[in-house]
């Protein structure tokens, strides 16, 4: 599904994806299931987002005959999660393309200003030759994703796409204004941001729910 007059934006609308995102939003969903859902959702989104991957032909032999058949150019790909919450999506995408190169960008939103703060960046040296998929479950104000794209470009990345699970209209607008040419794949489009720049209805704080750090404590302490 397209979004307004932004040709770079795709809002996915598969019923299975919707089902899993509903479960993810539910505040009674605990850490274990939350992580599993993020992984499954990333596989579903990745299947769509990676549909333009390059392939090359290799000769194989079926039980019937020799044949030239396509394989994905795994080495031309790179996944870059934004820490922390993006790590949950990395797990899912690596199920689709095992052994794919991954870079990592560490950003957190300052609780007061809501501006992203950089704390980590490790990217492959040959990133300029790779098809880079930036991943983060939440696109709220768009500040983190916009900053992460700047960091990728500074390191030479030329071909970038961004995959998120839930986006606010404000985040999509900001991201597209800064990066009109970067494909943006969204699992669900939400209503708006609240006064604390959280997505409504959203799912709360994705990093905390992924790693069980809500209110500074760990959930599921009794589950090993």
Distances (CA, A) of 224 to 28, 32, 113, 220, 221: 19, 10, 37, 8, 8
Segment near ligand URA (CB under 6 A), from 15-23, 31-39, 45-53, 201-209?
A: 201-209
Residues that are catalytic: 109, 113, 205, 208
Strand partners, 104: 122
Work out which of 198, 212, 213, 214 binds ligand URA, going by CB under 6 A: 198
Yes or no: say if 48 and 17 are a contact pair by the CB < 8 Å rule.
no
Q: Indicate which of ligand URA, ligand PRP, none lies near residue 144 (CB less than 5 to 8 Å, by partner kind).
A: ligand PRP
Kindly tell me the sign of the dihedral angle through the C-alpha atoms of 79, 82, 86, 87.
positive
Q: Between 31 and 101, whose beta carbon lies closer to ligand URA?
A: 31
142 touches which of ligand PRP, ligand URA, none (CB within 5 to 8 A by kind)? Answer: ligand PRP
- In the complex, minimum distance from the CB of residue 137 to ligand PRP, in angstroms, rounded to a whole number: 6
Among 187, 126, 137, 136, smallest CA distance to 159 is for 126
According to the binding rule CB under 6 A, does residue 167 interact with ligand PRP?
Answer: no
Tell whether residue 143 is a contact of ligand URA (CB under 6 A).
no
Does the protein bind ligand PRP through residue 209 (CB under 6 A)?
A: no
**84 touching ligand PRP, by CB under 6 A:** yes
The total number of residues written for the chain in this structure: 224
Partner that binds at residue 202, options ligand URA, ligand PRP, none, CB closer than 5 to 8 Å by kind: ligand URA
Q: What are phi and psi for residue 65, nearest 5 degrees?
A: -165, 170
**Interaction between residue 152 and ligand URA (CB under 6 A):** no
199 binds, among ligand URA, ligand PRP, none (CB under 5 to 8 A by kind): ligand URA
Strand intervals (E) in 62-206 = 66-72, 77-83, 101-102, 104-109, 116-122, 131-135, 138-139, 159-167, 184-189, 192-193, 199-200
Q: Which parts of this chain interact with ligand URA (CB under 6 A)?
A: 138, 140, 198-199, 202, 205-207
């Amino acid at each position: 599904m397209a979004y307004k007059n932004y040709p770079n934006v795709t809002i996915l609308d598969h019923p299975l994806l919707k089902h899993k995102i509903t479960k993810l939003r539910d505040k009674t969903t605990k850490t274990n299931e939350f992580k599993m859902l993020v992984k499954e959702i990333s596989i579903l989104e990745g299947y769509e987002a990676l549909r333009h991957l390059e392939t090359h032909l290799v000769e194989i032999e079926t039980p019937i005959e020799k044949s030239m058949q396509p394989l994905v150019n795994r080495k031309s790909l790179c996944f870059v999660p934004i820490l922390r919450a993006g790590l949950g999506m990395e797990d899912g995408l690596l199920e689709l393309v095992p052994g794919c190169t991954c870079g990592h960008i560490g950003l957190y939103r300052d609780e007061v200003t809501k501006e992203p703060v950089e704390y980590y960046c490790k990217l492959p040296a040959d990133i300029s030759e790779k098809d880079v998929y930036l991943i983060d479950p939440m696109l709220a104000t768009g500040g983190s994703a916009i900053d992460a794209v700047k960091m990728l470009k500074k390191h030479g990345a030329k071909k970038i796409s961004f995959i998120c699970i839930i986006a606010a209209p404000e985040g999509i607008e900001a991201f597209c204004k800064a990066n009109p040419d970067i494909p943006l794949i969204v699992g669900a489009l939400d209503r708006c941001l609240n006064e604390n720049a959280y997505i409504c209805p959203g799912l709360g704080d994705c990093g905390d729910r992924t790693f069980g750090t809500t209110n500074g404590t760990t959930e599921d302490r009794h589950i090993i």
